[in-house]
């Protein structure tokens, strides 16, 4: 019995043994960083990199709340989630002097409301959330969120929506023209009614499948992030990313230094690494969003730089998702649960 236990313990220990000097544990969105870039970092700094992925800002928060804080070094939350995580005390701070490439951050992303003065985060990529429509299925005008929330007959039953309350309900609010985080009863009631009715016309909820369902044809329209839609298009989906007249969501994802990071030094090295124009460009060329780092433009693939998804026409408005206070958030949570019951 003892030998068996020892063997097992040994085997378990062996499986966890690091081959490199240091480690870096990343918690990242799925399909958002090229493996080659991680390999490059690992080779350059002799660090063993491990990465887990999530598919929504809320899933990231939930996992960190559920005991994962202290296991990861860096994560990549969106704007409003940076604010929430900061308020929850989940972020560590650094001095700009700790990152030699800090000056590479584009000025417009330097002093942001969700992290004034960039004390815990650096820009990763920014883009928008809207939806894409298969032009072979639907030939009409592509200009309104109504295609998702009050769909025409061609699209009924063929729509995938993102499986996150934040983005889906915010787009619905834009469609109705009501403010975010509203506590107004009539407005919330209208929001609830809208999504309840629309659900009958939706085929599925899924964020990680958002690209695949459009490529495979399982869905004819789907809420999706701009770059993900561009990837779907380059994989052969006959789709167009829509810039709705009601407005769309814009967001910026940021690399944050997590509190109790087991490898704080490597985390900072990694953040600094990502601020190199060359590496930021590699991410953009892969994920097809827009970097928040200077001097990236000349390093981009032309089709990525000029993609219609990343270059909205004049006059399109975008809003950031807001973090609602608790007493309002519970109502949005209730609408979401009600929607999926």
Partner 1 sequence: MAAAAPAGATRSEIYRGNGPRLMLPVWAFIGIFLVLPVLLMAIYSFLTKEFRGGVIWEITLAAYDQFFLDRGLFGDEPPQIEWTYIGIFWRSIWQAGLATFFCLLIGFPTAWFIATRNAAVRPVWLFLVTIPYWVNLLIRTVSMKFLIRDTGPLNEFLLWLGVISEPLSLINTNFAVQLGLFYSYLPFMVLPVYAAVERYDFALSEAAADLYADNWTTLRLVILPVVKPGIVAGCILVFVPSLGAFLAPDLLGGAKTFMIGSLIEEQFKGAAGNWPFGAAAAMILLTIVLGVLLLHARAQAKGGR
Partner 2 sequence: MIKPLDLRRFTGFRALTILCLVVLYAPLIIVAIYSFNDSTSITRWGGFSLKWYVDVFTGPDAPKFRNAAINSFTIAIGAATCATIIATAAAVAMNRAGRFRGKVASLALINLPLMVPEIVTAVASLIFFITIGFKTGLMTIFIAHLVFCIPFAYLPISARMQSVPDVYEQAAMDLYATPWEAFRLILLPLMIPGILSGFLLAFIISLDDFLITNFVKGAGIETLPTAIFGSVKQGIKPNIMAISTLLLGVSVVFVTLSWFIGRAGQSKN
- The footprint of partner 1 (CB under 8 A) covers 56, 58-59, 61-63, 65-66, 84, 88, 157, 163-166, 185, 188-189, 192, 199, 202-206, 216-218, 326, 329-331, 333-338, 340-341
What sign for the dihedral angle of Cα 224, 229, 232, 237? positive
Binder among 19, 66, 326, 340 for partner 2 (CB under 8 A): 66
What is the CA 91 to chain-centroid distance, rounded?
A: 18
Give the residues across from 290 on adjacent strands.
Answer: 126
Interacting positions 175-214 with partner 2 (CB under 8 A): 206, 208-209, 211-213
Residue 322 DSSP class: P
6 contacts partner 2 (rule: CB under 8 A)? no
Examine residue 140 and tell whether it contacts partner 2 (CB under 8 A).
Answer: no
Residue 67 or 315 having the CB closest to partner 1: 67
Q: Does 30 bind partner 2 (CB under 8 A)?
A: yes
Identified binder of partner 2 from the candidate list 29, 37, 47, 55, rule CB under 8 A: 55
DSSP string, 90-106: -B----GGG-TTGGGB-
Helix (H) or strand (E) holding 27, with range, is strand 22-29
CA distances from 132 to 122, 223, 242, 263 (A): 29, 6, 6, 40
Choosing among partner 1, partner 2, none, which partner's interface includes residue 205 (Cβ < 5 to 8 Å by kind)?
partner 1
Cβ proximity to partner 1: between 126 and 202 the closer is 202
DSSP class of residue 68 equals: I
Compute the radius of gyration of the chain from its Cα atoms: 21
Is residue 216 at the binding interface for partner 2, with CB under 8 A as the rule?
yes
**Distances from the Cα of 89 to the Cαs of 71, 175, 260, in angstroms?**
15, 34, 11
In 56-192, DSSP assigns E strands to: 74-75, 121-134, 159-161
Q: Any contact of residue 58 with partner 2 (CB under 8 A)?
A: no
Q: 75 or 188: whose CB is closer to partner 2?
A: 75
State the binding partner of 334 from partner 1, partner 2, none, CB within 5 to 8 A by kind: partner 1
Q: State the minimum distance, in angstroms, from the CB of residue 150 to partner 1.
A: 19
Least distance to partner 1, CB of residue 276, Å: 34
Q: Does 32 bind partner 2 (CB under 8 A)?
A: no
Strand partners, 128: 250
- Which helix (H) or strand (E) covers residue 233, if one does? helix 226-234
Under the rule (CB under 8 A), what is the footprint of partner 2?
1, 4-5, 7-8, 11-12, 14-16, 25, 27, 30-31, 35, 50-53, 55, 66-68, 70-72, 206, 208-209, 211-213, 215-216
């Amino acid at each position: 019995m003892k030998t068996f236990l020892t063997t097992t313990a040994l085997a378990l220990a062996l499986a966890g043994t690091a081959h490199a000097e240091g480690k870096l544990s990343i918690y990242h969105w799925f399909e958002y960083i090229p493996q080659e870039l991680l390999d490059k970092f690992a080779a350059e700094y002799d660090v063993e990199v491990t990465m887990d992925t999530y598919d929504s800002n809320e899933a990231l928060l939930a996992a960190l709340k559920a005991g994962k804080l202290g296991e990861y070094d860096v994560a990549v939350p969106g704007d409003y989630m940076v604010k929430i995580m900061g308020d929850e005390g989940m972020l560590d701070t650094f001095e700009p002097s700790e990152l030699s490439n800090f000056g590479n951050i584009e000025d417009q992303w330097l002093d942001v409301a969700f992290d004034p003065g960039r004390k815990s985060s650096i820009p990763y990529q920014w883009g928008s959330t809207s939806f894409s429509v298969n032009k072979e299925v639907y030939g009409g005008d592509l200009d309104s969120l109504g295609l998702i929330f009050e769909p025409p007959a061609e699209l009924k039953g063929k729509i995938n929506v993102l499986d996150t309350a934040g983005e889906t309900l915010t787009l619905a609010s834009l469609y109705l023209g009501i403010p975010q985080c509203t506590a107004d009863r009539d407005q919330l009631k209208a929001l609830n009614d809208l999504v309840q009715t629309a659900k009958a016309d939706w085929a599925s909820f899924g964020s990680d499948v958002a690209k695949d369902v459009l490529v495979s044809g399982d869905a004819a329209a789907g809420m999706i992030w701009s770059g993900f839609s561009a990837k779907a298009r380059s994989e052969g989906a006959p789709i167009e990313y829509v810039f709705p007249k009601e407005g769309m969501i814009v967001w910026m994802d940021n690399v944050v230094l997590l509190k109790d990071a087991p490898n704080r030094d490597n985390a900072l090295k990694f953040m600094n690494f990502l601020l190199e124009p060359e590496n930021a460009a590699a991410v953009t060329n892969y994920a097809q969003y827009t970097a928040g780092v200077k001097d990236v433009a000349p390093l981009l693939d032309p089709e990525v730089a000029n993609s219609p998804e990343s270059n909205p026409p004049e006059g399109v408005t975008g809003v950031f998702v807001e973090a609602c206070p608790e007493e309002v958030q519970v109502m949005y949570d209730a609408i979401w649960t009600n929607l999926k019951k």
